[in-house]
Homo-oligomer: A and B are copies of this chain.
Amino acid sequence: MPAKNGKQFLDRINLAKPSVWFRGEQIDGRLSDHSAFRGLMSAQAELYDMQLHPDLKERMTYTSPTTGDPVGLSFLQPKTVEDLRKRRQMMMLWGEKHHGLLGRSPDYMNTGLMAFFAAADVLEEKDPRFADNLRKYYEYCRENDSSLSHAFVQPHASRFDELLDDGSIESCAASILEENEDGMIVTGAFLLATQGVTTDEVLVYPPASLYMPEENNPRTFAFAVPNNLPGIRWICRETLVGGDSGYDYPLSSRFDEMDTLVIFDRVLVPWERVFIHGDDHLSMRLFSESGFHVHSAYQVLCRYIAKLEFTLGIILYMAESLDKSGSPSTMEKVTEVIVHLETLKSLLIASEAGASLDRFGSMLPDRKPLWTANVIFPKIYPRMMEIIQLLGGSNIIMIPSERDFAGSSRPDLDKYLRGGGIDAYSKTALFRLAWELSSSGFGGRQTLYERFFFGDASVVANRLYQSYTDKEAYIGKIKSFLGEKNE
């Protein structure tokens, strides 16, 4: 199946029936009927529908080089700046649809997979089979419009090694336990496999060991499998869906991406789905040489911009409805949001302006502005939420529900809760939106998620610092400046 529509997305997910556990019980009905999933899946289905919408199809898909069918544009390996722009426009279309609230909209993982695919030559050097696996898998996903999640962060406990009585060491770190002709048998657990249950496939790649790299490390691998293989168990977190009412819960009724703890208990991974097998160096090289973080950061920056535009709109509308647009204190806060939005937009423009071909023929955006955005966003997003709270105050707390408006309190609500140029019903809708984004459980998870999207602050800063190749040049300028003095 080429680029799919929403119904096809829903049908496939409902058919898969992975082993999903929610509040201690296994879900056995259709996932899209479950209160914790139906809103999210419907929002995702809308994204997929856009692919085949006559007005958008051309901007959302391209022609498959193998079948001639339209396939999702996020699978496209960009080879020119024009390709980059096409990808950006497509990602913006999706981003504006989900307002940046879906960290795992399909383009995120599709982009990552594309990056690995484009760099498959790296794997070729050691064993052509793994390179071949990767290329075929990419093609499979592109042609079937498979949706993916990924899993790579292991629980804290995976770092504990315990010495058993017989002298052996026991650890719960993910590892290859056995291998046979069909594949390798893997056990372990991963945190925060976001949308693992509402996508078709999961890509698993624990980070390689940096300090003592080995060639046959049983803890180092990368593979992708359907999410319903025997031995895979998905344990859901608390649902943050407030309810089905789009009026009461404009965000959580649609955009609560479920995070899961995924357990692999002696899962047999078929060889044709294995990309990395034991080689720490190769694992690191695939990761860094493919520009995975660069391509992702480009997609994510589009999402950041959509989210900040949505936030700015909310803030401006709040100010207006509270008759505060003209106050110096409001203007100061709004300008802060504008400054951040203009900064992100400029970083995106600069990353394209500085794009260059890498050795695999991919047009790689300039990583410096992108990784700068990755440092900035986790700091400003919580501040934007703070601004919503500071601007809205008690208006964010005192929000009646759709049913209050349907009942006998309506005349009082209409009288007392209207705002500047806005009736009480619409104003309450606005402040429920502000509440969900800034102060609800849904909002709390969004803030946490953004803080750590690409790792904690030091990891993200370090990525930029280490890659900043201009450091010596800048020192050189100072040496030359001082040298003039010395002579």
Mark A residues whose CB is within 8 Å of B: 21, 23-25, 99, 153, 155-158, 172, 189, 191-192, 233, 235, 237-238, 242, 246-248, 250, 259, 261, 263, 265, 309-310, 312-314, 316-317, 320, 322-323, 328-329, 331-332, 334-335, 338-339, 342-343, 345-347, 349-351, 353, 368-369, 372, 375-376, 382, 386, 389-390, 393-409, 412-413, 415-420, 425-426, 429-430, 433, 435, 438-441, 443-445, 447-449, 451-452, 456-458, 461-462, 464-465, 468, 471, 474-479, 481-482, 484-486
Contact residues in B for A399 (Cβ distance below 8 Å): 237-238
On whether the beta carbons of A429 and B343 are closer than 8 Å, the reply is no
Query: A167 to nearest B CB, angstroms?
Result: 21
> Which residue of B is nearest A347, CB measured?
B346
On whether the beta carbons of A416 and B478 are closer than 8 Å, the reply is no
Contact residues in B for A407 (Cβ distance below 8 Å): 21, 24-25
Residues of A contacting B: mostly = helix
On whether the beta carbons of B458 and A332 are closer than 8 Å, the reply is yes
A361 to B301 Cα, complex, angstroms: 34
> Which residue of B is nearest A252, CB measured?
B441
A237-B397, A350-B349, A404-B235 known; A312 vs B474 contact (CB < 8 Å): yes
On whether the beta carbons of A418 and B157 are closer than 8 Å, the reply is yes
A235-B413, A393-B448 known; A475 vs B342 contact (CB < 8 Å): no
On whether the beta carbons of A475 and B320 are closer than 8 Å, the reply is yes
Query: A436 to nearest B CB, angstroms?
Result: 9
On whether the beta carbons of A429 and B24 are closer than 8 Å, the reply is no
Query: A287 to nearest B CB, angstroms?
Result: 20
Contact residues in B for A443 (Cβ distance below 8 Å): 444
Contact residues in B for A376 (Cβ distance below 8 Å): 339, 343
On whether the beta carbons of A415 and B157 are closer than 8 Å, the reply is yes
A332 to B379 Cα, complex, angstroms: 14
